[in-house]
Structure 1
Amino acid sequence: MARPSLQTERQQSIMAAFTRCISKLGLEAASLDEIAKEAGMQRSLVRHFAGNREDLVNQVADYIASEFEHIWQAQGHSHRDDPSDDWLLNVLFSPAPETQYQIMLPAFYALLSAAHRYPSVRVRMTQCFELYVADLSLKLQARHKQATTDDCQQVALGIINIYFAWDSLRGLELNSTLIGNNEKLIKRLLSSLN
């Protein structure tokens, strides 16, 4: 197997470093110097391989959205043979999501909150959200054949909205009653498709 190009390898390293910086410091405080330090390279190399600050922000939005989409699709794929809807609760409300997901989560929400300032970030984050809804809608249609496409799309939108709200609060120590009610709300939405 051929070794990836140095350009691609360095860009991936820079995006991973930028993601960690955003998660630790926030988007605005994640400077080129901080990114270079986190990536273990000189600032000039960061600029050479990834461009200016705006280029970096656009690239990291694509990197993070792509990673989240990959995780989502892999989770759905791993439960494709489960005819019940229990897989969805297990995937969405896992008490211990995988490490990469946990590292990227604060950066994902930082990008969402900054999307109004960066048109390309807004477009990419919108695509990511819409992919979640469309993909879940298709999965629901496959499991609930009697439900209409419109019903599946509405339930998918409701579930993804609940999930994003709950996920954004993951850093809080919510009591078990709130978590349980969240799951019951999802089950209520899903039962409307029967």
Structure 2
Amino acid sequence: MPRPTLKKQRREQILDAFEQCVARYGLAGATLERVSEEADLARPLIRHNVGNRDELVAAFMDRFFERSTEVMTSLREHLPARDKAQALINWLFQPGASDPRLVLVSSALIMAAAYEPALARQMRSWMDEFTGLFEDALKADFPRTDEQQLHMVATGLCGIYLNYESMTPLGPVSDLRTSSHDAALALLGTLGSS
């Protein structure tokens, strides 16, 4: 009987370590040496299970975008039939909804995108997908409202949320969370009632 392979398990271990290194050191600073140390695996095992650094970055990016899409899909599916935008705002601004490590990773990817056009395109698509989540909720709640106005409000809601989220690695920021939540609801209120 063949031995069970550890390749899938090791691959996830390596990608988790790479994610931690990106959060801590940025994309450029997530070296194979640091990943090896973080994963507690020899560098040859990283190459064997994932590949060279370029292949590691590609696998990490694929996983990052897949997970983001899964989260957004889940959010869409769990929004109520009415008042979708308010429910989305309430969910995003609830205590503990944000993962500080993923905030650091997404910030690191945005910073790296300044020097990597392909990554910049991916991050813009990622941002468009997030804005689209708000736009779709607003369209459902305010079907007779001009699409340009809905887009502006969706963009503003994203901006408020991303500003708040960017501060979560600092630790508890409950005053900012509360004020940002209230600002998002006030902006939503500019559209009137559904």
Do the two structures share a fold, i.e. TM-score over 0.5? Answer: yes
Amino acid at match of 2:182: K
1:110-149 correspondence runs (5 A): 110-149=108-147
Distance 1:164 1:152 in 2: 18
Partner of 2:162: 164
Corresponding residue for 1:94?
Answer: 94
Change (3 A) 1:130 1:85: closer
- C-alpha displacement at 1:43, in angstroms? 1.2
Q: Deviations over 1:159-190 (max 9, x none)?
A: 112211211111235462x4333223212221
1:9 Cα deviation (Å)? 5.0
| Aligned AA (1:59) | A
Matched position secondary structure for 1:94: coil
- SS across alignment from 2:76: helix
CA contact (8 A) 2:157 2:184 kept: yes
Tell me the distance in 1 between the aligned counterparts of 2:74 and 2:174: 29
8 Å contact from structure 2 (residues 100, 168) kept in 1:
no
Tell me which amino acid in the other structure corresponds to 2:133: D
Residue 133 of structure 1, CA deviation: 0.9
- 1:1-194 alignment, distance < 5 Å: 10-83=10-83, 85-97=85-97, 101-172=99-170, 173-174=172-173, 176=175, 178-194=176-192
Structure 1 residues 112-121 or 137-146, which shifts more?
Answer: 112-121
Which TM-score applies when normalising by structure 1? 0.81
Structure 2 CA distance for partners of 1:84 and 1:70, relative to 1, 3 Å: closer
State the alpha-carbon separation in 1 of the partners of residues 112 and 62 from structure 2: 14
- Deviations along 1:83-133, one digit per CA (max 9) or x if unpaired, are 3543122222122126xx333221111111111122332222111101011
User: 2:97 is paired with a residue of what secondary structure?
Assistant: coil
- Alignment CA distance shift 1:82-1:7 (3 Å): farther
Question: Match for 1:184: what amino acid?
Answer: D
CA distance in 2, matches of 1:30, 1:156: 34
* Count of residues in correspondence between the two structures: 188
Q: Which runs of 5+ in 2 are unaligned?
A: none
2:65 partner amino acid: A
- Following the alignment from structure 1 to structure 2, what is the Cα–Cα distance between the partners of residues 24 and 89? 29
1:41 maps to a residue whose letter is: L
